[in-house]
Structures are given as structure tokens and as C-alpha cells.
Amino acid sequence: MERISEVRRKTNETEVHVKLNLDGKGIAKLEYPVGFFAHMLNNFARHGLFDLELYATGDLEVDQHHLIEDTGICLGSAFAQALGKKEGVRRVGSCLYPMDETLARAAVDLSGRAFLVFEGTLSGIPLVSACASGESAPFQTDVVVDFWQAFVSTAACTLHLDILRGRSDHHKIEALFKAAGRALRDAVEPDPRGAGILPSTKGTLDSGGVYLC
């Protein structure tokens, strides 16, 4: 059974369109106006082996928060839709990811409960990134937390993201996205021994709420 989803969100601030295949080869097709964050999404898809198509526009004249938060909302919704009832998946996954001087850790549980722990130890100093026009623009590193908070709220998962050591904010953020991709890859992977079995004693991994994009 194909685990594919498509999500659209349009507001007065942003427009985001996501197509996701959980059982892909890590191919990302992105039209995204924030260069650094497009790089992070590409890494997330490649390391998670998710095929991801994502097209987005937003009110960047205000700041990057609206667009990146709404991207998290849509990507989380796409995961929830593609997973369905979550029967036969491993449910949990984790990754310890080294990137030069940085060591990142991600652990996820597709529990149906939205909870984020983020210990990224970022400096808060913007990074220089290219925008869609090719001009240089600062990347607001504080929106990384906004993205993951939005993601867990609609994916209905528990996610712990930690930087154990590191110096470069670029490396810290990138290592977290790679680690999260690999942890989610493990969590959504079909479990041959658990085929058709819901990995919960509760009998449900439903969020208990309705998460709409």
C-alpha cells in the first residue's frame, strides 16, 4: 500500500504545497524562497529517504517566521496523512549524527501526542543565506524551533532534538535535520515482525484531535 500524501495550505501570509512519499529514495524537488532552509529540507528528505515535493511562497517582507512555521504545519500534516493508522510501523526511531565538530541527537515516537524538546544551543545570530532573487539575506535561526514545533503539532509525534556539542550554527542546524530525517525513517519503517499490528497497548495511536493544514 502506497504511503503517499498531498497537503496544501493557503493563507493571507503564505501558500505551501507538499507532496510526500514515505517510501521514496530521498529525492527532493523544492521551490523555496529561503535558500538555507531549502538546503535543510533537502538534507531531511535525503537522509530520511523520503521523496518530497515542496513549493512555497510567503510574506518574507515581514520576516521568515510565517513561511517556515507553515511549512512545518504542512510537512507534519503530510506525515500524519501518509502514515494513516500506523499499523505495522516501528513507531520509534533515533539517530546520533556527527557532523565535523558537531554531534546531534534526534529521537522520535509516533505516539499521537505532540511534544517537542529542543536543546539546539543556537547562538541566535542570523546566518547569511541566498534568497530566491539571488541576493544575500540573513536566515533567522530562531525559526528552526518554530518549524519543529509546528511539525510535531500536526504530525502528532514526540520529538527530542539535542546538540551534544558543536560550534557552527550551520552545522548544528544541519546535523539536527539529518538526524531527524534518519530517526523518522526508522520510525515509519514497516516492521516485518509487526505486520498489521498496531505498536501500542492502548489500541490506538490516534492524536485524539483533528490536525488540519
Whether 194 shows a pLDDT value over 50: the answer reads yes
Residue 213: the pLDDT is: 57
Radius of gyration of the chain from its Cα atoms, rounded to whole angstroms:
16
Neighbours of 79 (CB within 10 A): 26
Give the model's confidence band at 71: pLDDT under 50 very low, under 70 low, under 90 confident, else very high.
very high
Whether 28 shows a pLDDT value over 90: the answer reads yes
If you average pLDDT over residues 101-124, what whole number do you get? Answer: 96
184-207 burial, b for 16+ CB within 10 Å, e for fewer? bbbbbbeeeeeeeebbeeeeebeb
Domain count, the chain: 1
Whether 210 shows a pLDDT value over 50: the answer reads no
CATH number for 8: 3.30.230.40
Q: Examine residue 204 and state whether it is found in any structural domain, yes or no.
A: no
Residue 137: the pLDDT is: 75
Q: Examine residue 210 and state whether it is found in any structural domain, yes or no.
A: no
Closest among 114, 127, 96 to 209, alpha carbons compared: 114
pLDDT in tens, 32-61: 999 999 999 999 999 999 999 999 999 999
Whether 209 shows a pLDDT value over 80: the answer reads no
Domain that holds residue 58: 4-194
Q: Examine residue 203 and state whether it is found in any structural domain, yes or no.
A: no
Whether 134 shows a pLDDT value over 70: the answer reads no
Sheet holding 158-165, edge to edge: 92-99, 102-109, 158-165, 115-119
Sign of torsion, CA 66 160 20 30? positive
Q: Examine residue 89 and state whether it is found in any structural domain, yes or no.
A: yes
Q: Examine residue 211 and state whether it is found in any structural domain, yes or no.
A: no
If you average pLDDT over residues 179-183, what whole number do you get? Answer: 98
Bridge partners, residue 103, by sequence: 98, 165
Whether 178 shows a pLDDT value over 70: the answer reads yes
